[in-house]
Amino acid sequence: MEEVQEPQTQPLGGENQDEIITESSAFVKGEPPQEVSNPPKVDSEIEVLHENVTKQIIKEGHGQKPTKYSTCFFHYRAWTENTQHKFEDTWDEQRPIEMILGKEKKELTGLAIGVGSMKAGERALLRVGWELGYGKEGNFSFPNVPPMADLVYEVELIGFDETKEGKPRSDMTVEERIGAADRRKMDGNAFFKEEKLEEAMQQYEMAIAYMGDDFMFQLFGKYRDMALAVKNPCHLNMAACLIKLNRYDEAIGQCSLVLSEDENNVKALFRRGKARAALGQTDAAREDFLKAKKYAPEDKAITKELRSLAEHDKALYQKQKEIYKGMFGPRPEPKPQQRNFLILIWQWLVAVFHCLIMLFKRERQKSD
């Protein structure tokens, strides 16, 4: 899809270096994301990384593994093994964690060992003994972990940056962080053109990680505009990938993040409308398309989606009309029931017998 420079309007059917193409989505009912309450069951081989750390691969990754002082970006869920209490989940916030291997907090030592053994894109189940977790004392604040609790982590390594000095984002200048994010965005676009959607999303997520809330809150004026010019296209490109993968709820979330910054963003409205239409949320989809059309009245892609919604509604109305056609019409006339011939003979004999009895009674009365 071609870049839209708000408030100007341009067609949504082309392509440039910042925005990528999406294909039409059909009216397919998607499955809602299921909340994860317990650690996943994994049948793969158990790999011993340390006497207190084991790993089982859920999904294979690609490329090299991070080295010491690499800045790693990853999502994870964490449980206490005995109670199965989930005390942290970064997927809920759609914000990956940053960790510099070799400079992690003491309670994350076991997690760092596991992350250091993973490739970009890999998802794994880690089991960490209490000695490399929250120790004998545990943590009764946040997260809530009891003393001497063994831990279970479900981890997905998005990617990592090799930095000899282990320079964290907090030590980068504004220009360095925006530049690093922009390079990730460009790498993601290159993967998308090769139809490597998972790899593309990993790059976009890493770019977004450089533009975290703590960073954005500190920016004003031209620096905030520079950051949003990188951050918002990454969210929109993530949405494009997710739509192609039929992950419509996640695509809606990415578009909504852009609309929280720019409520009239045509591209975010258009893609959220497509995702909602694919989930059968036709009223909400129509609302998004109509608002997008307000700011891009000549755009053919928006008009096409609105026409598709109208055709869908018409077909649904005709189907409902056929189903309920006879429910409120005139009551059909009852058909006369055919009598059985033997029953008719029996009824005639009973009538004759009754008449004979009556005649007999009358003759007897006369004689008396």
Instruction: Give 3-state DSSP helix, strand, coil % of the chain, rounded to 5.
Output: 45, 15, 40
Q: Over 70: is that where the pLDDT of 329 sits?
A: no
Higher pLDDT, 37 or 185: 185
Closest CA to 293 of 270, 319, 310: 270
Evaluate whether 150 touches 133 at the Cβ level (below 8 Å): yes
pLDDT for 302 equals 93
pLDDT for 70 equals 87
Identical fold for domains 47-161 and 170-312, yes or no, is no
Higher pLDDT, 252 or 6: 252
For the record, the structure tokens of 229 come out as 């010019």
Q: Over 70: is that where the pLDDT of 206 sits?
A: yes
Give the long-range contacts of residues 92-96, CB within 8 A, separation 24 or more.
94/253, 94/254, 94/257, 95/209, 95/212, 95/213, 96/158, 96/205, 96/206, 96/208, 96/209
pLDDT, tens digit, 9 for 90 and up, residues 153-197: 999 998 888 765 456 777 788 888 888 889 889 999 999 999 999
Q: Can you say how many angstroms the Cα of residue 224 is from the centroid of all Cα atoms in its chain?
A: 28
Q: Which of 34-48, 152-166, 289-303 has the lowest mean pLDDT?
A: 152-166
Higher pLDDT, 7 or 322: 322
pLDDT for 63 equals 83
Closest CA to 61 of 69, 72, 51, 71: 72
Q: What is the mean pLDDT of residues 337-348?
A: 70
pLDDT for 11 equals 53
DSSP 106: G
Higher pLDDT, 244 or 311: 244
Burial class (CB in 10 A: 0-12, 13-18, 19+), 112: buried
pLDDT for 195 equals 92
CATH says 47-161 is which class? alpha beta
Q: Which of 79-83, 140-144, 190-194, 212-216 has the lowest mean pLDDT?
A: 212-216
Q: What is the 3-state secondary structure (H, E, C) of 54-69?
A: EEEEEECCECCCCCCC
Strand 144-145, strand 86-89: pairing? unpaired
pLDDT for 149 equals 95
Cα pseudo-dihedral 121, 127, 129, 134, rounded to 10 = 60
Higher pLDDT, 307 or 325: 307
pLDDT for 128 equals 97
pLDDT for 364 equals 72
Q: Which secondary-structure segment (H or E) carries 272?
A: helix 266-278
Position 94: which residue type?
Q
Higher pLDDT, 94 or 2: 94
pLDDT, tens digit, 9 for 90 and up, residues 88-97: 998 887 677 8
Q: Over 60: is that where the pLDDT of 224 sits?
A: yes
pLDDT averaged over the chain?
82
The CATH code of the domain at 170-312 is: 1.25.40.10
Q: What is the mean pLDDT of residues 213-234?
A: 87
pLDDT for 133 equals 95
Closest CA to 235 of 216, 250, 215: 250
Q: Which secondary-structure segment (H or E) carries 155?
A: strand 151-161
User: CA-to-CA distance for 297 and 10, rounded, in angstroms?
Assistant: 10
**48 — alpha (psi -120 to 50), left (phi > 0) or beta?**
beta
Q: Can you say how many angstroms the Cα of residue 65 is from the centroid of all Cα atoms in its chain?
A: 28
pLDDT for 6 equals 36
User: CA-to-CA distance for 184 and 39, rounded, in angstroms?
Assistant: 31
Work out the pLDDT band at 51, boundaries 50, 70, 90: very high
Q: What is the mean pLDDT of residues 323-343?
A: 63
Q: What is the mean pLDDT of residues 208-234?
A: 86
Domain ranges of the chain: 47-161, 170-312
pLDDT for 325 equals 67
Total residues belonging to the chain: 368
Burial class (CB in 10 A: 0-12, 13-18, 19+), 326: exposed
Work out the pLDDT band at 15, boundaries 50, 70, 90: very low
User: What percent of the chain lies above the pLDDT cut of 90?
Assistant: 49
Work out the pLDDT band at 220, boundaries 50, 70, 90: confident
